[in-house]
């Protein structure tokens, strides 16, 4: 009887742990997909598709190369910016989402991205709103520019 009880407890605990690990992996995947949806559509100038991943109270800001703060970019300003810039096709993008951390209904991730001649890192915070991950905060900083050697 004790062996059966021990076996049942082991199976139940093992199943619970496996289910919890699967749930964490699913949440991390959903966070990654929300971040990629945001950045891929930003580069392709598809505001409505990008906006699906943004919380209405989004705060996006960052540092200029000289260390000063860039202006805040709420969704309306992002839309305006996207209407003026050249699109960057998906095949030319290099977006890496990593360092994903999920706790309850909040998450954070790191995004490395940029254009062909400039690269930056974004720290992204998300909130789970009505069952979907929405980006509520983005803070970015450029990687240092590589010095070009002078040809003699």
At residue 37, the pLDDT reads: 98
- pLDDT (0 to 100) of residue 77: 93
Measured over the CA atoms of residue 122, residue 118, residue 41 and residue 71, the dihedral's sign is positive
Domain of residue 48, residue span: 2-142
The pTM of this model reads 0.81
- How many independent structural domains does the chain possess? 1
Is residue 147 situated within a structural domain?
Answer: no
pLDDT value for 1: 73
Question: Is residue 150 a part of any domain in this protein?
Answer: no
**Which pLDDT does position 126 carry in this prediction?**
98
Q: Which residues of the chain have pLDDT under 70?
A: 5-22, 147-152
pLDDT in the model for residue 145: 77
Instruction: Report pLDDT for 89.
Output: 93
User: Which strand ranges, in their side-by-side order, compose the sheet holding 54-63?
Assistant: 54-63, 132-142, 118-129, 106-115, 96-103
């Amino acid at each position: 009887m004790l062996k059966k009880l021990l076996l049942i407890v082991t199976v139940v605990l093992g199943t619970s742990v496996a289910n919890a690990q699967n749930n964490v992996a699913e949440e991390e995947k959903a966070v990654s997909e929300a971040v990629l949806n945001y950045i891929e559509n930003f580069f392709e100038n598809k505001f409505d598709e990008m906006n699906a991943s943004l919380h209405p109270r989004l705060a996006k800001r960052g540092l200029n190369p000289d260390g000063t703060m860039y202006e805040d970019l709420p969704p309306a300003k992002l839309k305006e910016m996207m209407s003026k810039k050249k699109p960057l096709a998906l095949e030319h993008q290099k977006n890496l989402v990593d360092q994903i951390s999920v706790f309850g209904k909040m998450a954070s991730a790191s995004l490395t991205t940029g254009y062909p001649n400039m690269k930056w890192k974004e720290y992204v915070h998300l909130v789970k709103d009505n069952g979907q991950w929405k980006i509520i905060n983005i803070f970015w900083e450029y990687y240092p520019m590589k010095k070009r050697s002078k040809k003699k």
